[in-house]
Structure 1
Amino acid sequence: MFVRARVLTALVAAASLALTACGGDSGDDSGSSGTKTELKLYNDKGAWSPFFEELGKLSKEQIGVSMSPVGYTDEPTYSAFIKASFRTNNKPDLFTWSTGGRLEEIVEAGQVAETTDLWKEAVAAGDLSKELEATYTYSGKQYCVPLNISYWVMFYNKKVLDQNGIQPPTTWADLMSAADKLKAKGIKPFYHTSVLFSFVWFQQLLIGTDPDLYNKLATGEAKYTDPGVVAVMERWKKMIDDGYFSDAGSKEDPAVQLKTGKTAMGIFGTWFNTSMTQQGLKPGSDYGMFVIPNVDPAKTKNTVAFESGPLCSLAKAPDDKASMNYMKWWVQQPAQEKWANSRGDVSANPKVTIPDPGLATIAKAAGGGEYTLANRYFEAAPAPVLTAALDAFGAFMVDPGSYLKQLQNIQKAADEYWKGR
């Protein structure tokens, strides 16, 4: 099941061939100015293609440059594809990635274009916040721009909770009580998966118990074998043993699981709102979302995981000027109004109004300092540690009794990474 490392070479080779066949090379799409008038945006968000296409039409109207998406739905294949493009003459005009260790990796390799001037202008214009800038800063310079921002909250099937007399919990004890009620009715309380998002419950349990320990793991100041981390895994194991989770190996769309009521709740970024509306569900009447209460009741300020996915250009893009101008347009209010509201999500641009009251409440509270924000684990963990952790958490879900072995495996990767740093 966990063979990603062993097939990476094959994926890279396949990606190289795919680039030759359908890569983002410049073709004859240049305007009289010599800059491209059509850009291809490679991404690992294939389900978002209709929304990318809408932005492509809007950019054609507003800046004379269209954009067409090339979407993938399998993240390992997509990552291999992009990394293969670094070594070929066929390169994407724009591409999505993730911040944290994975972005730092390609910045250090000199593969991604610097956007320091763009950030300076956008912050001055009020289109991006100074607080968000740190997420895109490496060695004092900025790279890429925000594709999206999201807060990780609990989505729930409103009818299922209402029918069982459950209100959105405000304490961890209430959340566990709700889980017991749902389980008694034959409903799986929580969604989880052993593929890619295997880190989600580890992240939530740790930030809700000891956010300082969570942050220290990301910087190598703490170990995955420390007692506080072990205690989190033991809590997670007990929840699995108690039957609180859906089948971690299921291939069924989580939005479908929530829609049908097979599963009552699931932790996702606010971007999951798009998946719910695509199922024909209406926010407020069919489903809702709430900030997950801390595990430790002594910590009265809830900690919320936060992510910001980047939109990037290569350092040697087919037309670096066109790509940079597109990213500059992307962060401005007209583009962000269309992008955020068409998907039903929050925006990195503070000027954008959010019509969904549930999202607006969460975004306002997060922006107003009501929550402690923690960088999502996928970005917080250094890339080699993340790779080991995703496999380890997935293996743990298959065999919960192996949690100590899995923590030791992650720590081995962490020791190797932090050695000499």
Structure 2
Amino acid sequence: MRTLAALGLAATLTLAACGGNDAAAPQKKSELSLYNDKGAWSKYFDGMGALSKQQISLSMKPVGYTDSAQYQAFIKASFRTDVKPDLFTWQTGGMLEEIVKQKQVADTTAVWQEAIKAGDLPQDLAPYYTVGGKQYCVPLNVAYWGMFYNMPVFEKHGVKPPTTWEELIKAADTLKKAGVTPFYHTSVLFSFVWFEQLMAGMDPDLYDRLSTGKAKYTDPGVVAVMDKWKELIDAGYFVNAGDKTDPADLLKTGKTAMVSFGTFFNTSMTTRSMAPGKDYGFFVIPNVNTSLPKTSVIFESGPLCALDKAADPAASMKYLKWWTSAGAQEKWASSRGDVSANPKVTVKDEALNSITKDAGSGKYRLVNRYFEATPPPILSAALDGFGKFVSDTSTTKEVLETIQKAADEYWSTHQ
């Protein structure tokens, strides 16, 4: 009996070993997992999973995280473990390049070529997804950054959406005198927002040089940006940077009149039963430097990726291809009330449609969001530094020198 048991165990182990080898080979899947750092969007992902099952016989189950740092740590750890996502969200720029170089991301060049030819993706978006001449991932979403504002608050105090920087500051003064805090900012994660906005509106060429190591954070132009930022903070235009209240709640209650965010923030408004064009509006933030030929608009696009060694590569690629289609994007954009990467798709919000159309026509100078434009090691130092600065504006010199130290270390080995 012991011999038979031993033989049975050996056979089981042999079959398990064979099964392990087969597991490394492509498997046929009818449902894919989509890990993401947008836990609040679960119902929208669920809707897309139901639609994909209907249209391409391939469903999708979202696994959402709400903490960005924990999510990034999980995805990077999954590269070395057996718990792997079929699909996952990420970021462009240095973070995408990092995992591409680790050979973890599936090549989507063919998907891009077909989508561009069909008019489902714009050619201008491809560079943000290109590493070493090839494309990786597809756009989960696109976003243009501007200012969301509380319309009833503006109307009550006789304030109109500004078209110049001078008008924006005049509006802030009016609101502040009326007891309304003009702007939102934070000391965590999104601490970079006003730095990028001011720099893009003062010297976008310097912004580009800074992101490629051709300029220093201690340069006079960067110091000037920090001085302008300090001026706004010291004037009392911002909420307490340590306030943990969701910016959408601050805007809805009128405690803050304006919030600078990407068009994806529209979803936060609609989920709070706020109506665009009635409860809130959106305008492009004017340049500080009026001599610039075009208004600078911060732009970002978040990737939806597949692993290079996915459990079912064909299914993952099929899903990414479907995701870029007009049928999929119509659902994705309309459900969230946001813009789409697919030029064929429009949304009901007139202001968002307008910026999408204008951005695509070349009216604005599109500036890659700081979070994606800045290499990760420098970004980490900058986020900490800006978080410190918004809490204590006397730290400008210390903050910039600390960020530049991280930049020197990074660019000394990266050209």
| Separation in 2, partners of 1:307, 1:56 | 24
1:135 aligns with 2:133: no
Structure 1: 4+ residue segments shifted above 6 A = none
Displacement of 1:120: 1.1
Displacement of 1:300: 4.4
Gaps of 5+ in 2: 1-22
Equivalent in the alignment of 1:245: 238
| Separation in 2, partners of 1:122, 1:290 | 30
1:211 aligns with 2:238: no
Equivalent in the alignment of 2:166: 173
**Pairing partner for 1:374 from 345, 367, 374:** 367
CA contact (8 A) 2:27 2:311 kept: no
| Separation in 1, partners of 2:89, 2:182 | 33
CA contact (8 A) 1:304 1:371 kept: yes
1:97 aligns with 2:90: yes
Displacement of 1:378: 0.5
1:68 aligns with 2:57: no
CA contact (8 A) 1:302 1:372 kept: yes
Where does 1:332-351 land on structure 2 (aligned, <5 Å)?
Answer: 332-351=325-344
- Secondary structure of the 1:308 match is strand
Equivalent in the alignment of 1:123: 116
Displacement of 1:297: 1.3
**Pairing partner for 2:247 from 254, 261, 277:** 254
Letter of the 1:226 counterpart: D
1:107 aligns with 2:100: yes
CA contact (8 A) 1:105 1:383 kept: no
Q: Answer with 271-280 or 295-304: which moved more.
A: 295-304
CA contact (8 A) 1:133 1:142 kept: yes
- Secondary structure of the 1:299 match is coil
1:327 aligns with 2:320: yes
Q: Which of 1 and 2 has greater Rg?
A: 2
1:356 aligns with 2:349: yes
Letter of the 1:253 counterpart: D
| Separation in 2, partners of 1:113, 1:342 | 28
| Separation in 1, partners of 2:251, 2:348 | 23
User: Cα deviations across residues 316-336 of structure 1 (Å, max 9, x unaligned)?
Assistant: 222221111100100001000
Equivalent in the alignment of 2:403: 410
Equivalent in the alignment of 1:392: 385
| Separation in 2, partners of 1:208, 1:412 | 25
- What TM-score do the two structures reach when normalised by structure 2? 0.93
Displacement of 1:354: 2.3
1:40 aligns with 2:33: yes
Equivalent in the alignment of 1:15: none
Equivalent in the alignment of 2:292: 299
**Pairing partner for 1:315 from 308, 311, 318:** 308
Letter of the 1:319 counterpart: D
Equivalent in the alignment of 2:7: none
User: Cα deviations across residues 188-218 of structure 1 (Å, max 9, x unaligned)?
Assistant: 1000011111100000000000000000001
| Separation in 2, partners of 1:399, 1:34 | 55
Letter of the 2:235 counterpart: D
| Separation in 1, partners of 2:250, 2:349 | 23
| Separation in 1, partners of 2:364, 2:172 | 24
Letter of the 1:162 counterpart: E
Gaps of 5+ in 1: 1-29
CA contact (8 A) 2:27 2:312 kept: no
Equivalent in the alignment of 1:23: none
| Separation in 2, partners of 1:365, 1:57 | 33
User: Cα deviations across residues 170-203 of structure 1 (Å, max 9, x unaligned)?
Assistant: 1101100111111111111000011111100000
Equivalent in the alignment of 1:3: none
Displacement of 1:355: 2.2
CA contact (8 A) 1:188 1:263 kept: yes
| Separation in 2, partners of 1:318, 1:92 | 9
Q: How many residues align?
A: 391
Displacement of 1:126: 1.0
CA contact (8 A) 1:41 1:93 kept: yes
CA contact (8 A) 2:149 2:257 kept: yes
- Secondary structure of the 1:271 match is helix
Query: How well do the aligned residues superpose, as a CA RMSD in angstroms?
Result: 1.3
Equivalent in the alignment of 1:223: 216
Letter of the 2:345 counterpart: V
| Separation in 2, partners of 1:389, 1:321 | 40
